[in-house]
Copies of this chain bind each other. A is one copy, B any other.
């Protein structure tokens, strides 16, 4: 690499031509992984979508597993719920999840892959363990891991039925209807006292 080029890049003054290719690959990968799952999404198809040669994918991402790892990078971007009344936390959370799911293909890709790919499953587990549970800890409730799991079960169940399986009655619900139905559920999972054990 030439010295002036290096300097320019270090100062963030330019972008390489290859950056466009990398981004195109990543976008195509997310789309394919999201639509087809890990094993049916082929590198050849991803490359075709990005209008490049399959060898470029290997050049930039090493192998399929690493490509998926890059494509499945995701931040839930959970906001602070400090200003939200305790009885409405669930509603706010459902609303946030809906926009986050529909914003890009990453979560769909992650979920579809996680069902048949162990690496993706581990990623999914860590997503909730490292992003959801800590937020609940801030909300000062007990057993944050269990509550995070319960929230995940309903949130992922909704996503599964709505975006993956496309079960008619669920897929057709408006955002407001989903919030009205699932909000109280999440609120209860977040704030209700732990059930007395048998």
Contacts of A152 in B (CB 8 A): 157, 161, 167, 170
Q: Given the complex of chains A and B, what is the CA–CA distance between A40 and B116 in angstroms?
A: 8
Contact status B154-A177, CB under 8 Å: no
Interface string of A146-167 (1 = CB under 8 A from B): 1011101111111011101111
> Number of contact residues on A: which range applies?
35 or more
In the complex formed, the residue of B with least CB distance to A122 is: B165
Q: What residues of chain B lie closer than 8 Å to A39, measured between beta carbons? A: 37, 39-40, 116
Measured CA separation A155–B165 after assembly (Å): 14
Asked if residues A165 and B197 are in contact (CB atoms below 8 Å), the reply is: no
B161 and A156 contacting across the interface, CB-CB below 8 Å: yes
- Are A167 and B125 in contact (CB-based, < 8 A)? yes
* Across-interface contacts of A181 in B (CB, < 8 A): 150, 189, 195
Q: How far is the CB of A195 from chain B (nearest CB, A)?
A: 4
B154 and A154 contacting across the interface, CB-CB below 8 Å: yes
Interface string of A81-119 (1 = CB under 8 A from B): 000000000000000000000000000000110111000
Q: Residue A21 at the B interface, CB < 8 A?
A: no
A145 touches B169 (CB 8 A): yes
Question: Is A114 in contact with B153, judged by CB distance below 8 angstroms?
Answer: no
